[in-house]
Each structure stands twice: as structure tokens, then as C-alpha cells.
Amino acid sequence: MPAKRKKISYQEFLHREYGFFRAPLAPEMDFYDTIRSGNLRKVRTLLSEPFDAKKGFGVLSDNPLQNLKYHMTITTAILARYCISGGLSQAEAYSLSDYYIRLADEASTPSEISEIHNEMCLHYARLMSSLHQSAISSKAVSTAINYIYEHLHTRITLEGLASVTNLSAPYFSRLFKKETGYSVSGYIMNKKLETAKSMLASSDYSIAEISASLAFPSQSYFTNVLKKDCGLTPKEYRVRNRSVDFYLHENPYR
């Protein structure tokens, strides 16, 4: 009988994605989500290793420089899409995408492409940071959101978040809704589902493991809320999205 795999957490999933261990990241789940969150400190940490030194790139060209350019193009295109989903205007996101793809195309060395890659990632991250800061003005809501990101593996309650922010639960609930447009429970569920979708598409963890790692009450509950969200069961979502996202997972930093 095969050995039973130990229970996972979404932090362990993040660690595996990048191939090294560090403090738990906010569960945007991957490099693109980290940039979309506008967290410049974490983006800089993830950029500490040069783009041209990353392992696991697929072979898209026999020419090493051209191969790196192709992966830079993939990274840029996907990053633009992620930032659009985070609220950046299509015009601005695609304009930047075109600009950095052209720069990479003109590059003559791998190190030059790495510099362009880092500049691009920080450029998008700064834009997203400004976007989030303008949307979320209060320290209390910002603190609560950071707490949610770091504790998706637990059951998070309104009362618990109110305690973290030193506000009464009714007042915090109204403030959170006013500044984010979401109820507290709706925001938490949205983040759990975002994380679950990423894990389904880019890992081989079972549906039961993913459900447990994100503190859903049961696998059937997870299945029901995901189907209500996107019309697909976890298995259906994995099959439909795995062809692209799992390839990207097998090629770190895309």
C-alpha cells in the first residue's frame, strides 16, 4: 500500500511552486498574483534570482536567447491579464505589455532580458499598489485584508477580524463593505476560491487535500461553492484549466 501523503497547506503549495522555502506568502498563489497584489516587498524578494537563471523553462527554441525571449513574452502577456483582472485598465496593461515585449525582442543578451523582466514586474507592481491604495484607504481594512491573505488555511470570522483591527464587529463590517464592495464573508470566500482554482489548475494535489488546506467545512461544501461560483465542479475546473496553467507551473516564472 502506498504511503499516505501528509496534509498540505496552501503555504506549502507556494513553496513548491518556487522551489525554495521562505516565510508564508499572501496566497495570491503565484508570482503573477503577488504582482497583482501590489506587494512590492515580496515582488523584490521573488526577483532576487535573475530571470535567465531560472530552471525548468520549456524548450520553445533551440536558440537559448530566443527561447528566453519567448518565455519573457509569455510572462508579459500573462502578467498583463492578471493585472487587468485586478482592476488595471486594459489600455494601460496592454500598452505596457507591448512596450516590454518589444524591449525584450531587441535585447542581445540573457542578462539584458533579465533586467527588462525585473523592470516590467516592478512597473506593474507599482501600478497595482497605487490602485489598491486608492481603493482601500483605512488602516483597519488593510490590516484585515493582510490577515485574511495569511490565514486562508483557517476559519476566519467577522468577530476575529474585528478583534484584529480593534473595532466593533458591526462597525468593521460596514467599513469593510464600504471600502471593498464586499461583505467580509464574501471577500473571504472569494479569496479561498481564487486560491483553490490556482491549486486545481497548477498542482496534482487531490480535491480533498485542497479543500482541507483551505479550511472548507467539507469536500462537498467546496464542490458546491465552486460550482455556484463558476458553474464547474473541482474536477471539471481542473480538466478545463490544466492544459495551460499546469504547463506554466512546470515552467517556473514562466
CATH node for 139-249: 1.10.10.60
- Is the pLDDT score of 137 beyond 50? yes
The pTM of this model reads 0.52
Assigned C-alpha cell, 11: 503555504
Per-residue pLDDT tens over the stretch 16-67? 443 333 333 333 356 888 898 888 888 898 888 888 887 777 788 899 999 9
Per-residue pLDDT tens over the stretch 142-194? 889 888 888 888 999 999 999 999 999 999 999 999 888 899 999 999 989 98
What does the pLDDT read at residue 111?
94
Per-residue pLDDT tens over the stretch 63-80? 999 999 998 999 899 889
- Residue 243 pLDDT level (bands cut at 50, 70, 90): very low
What does the pLDDT read at residue 188?
94
Domain positions in the chain: 37-135, 139-249
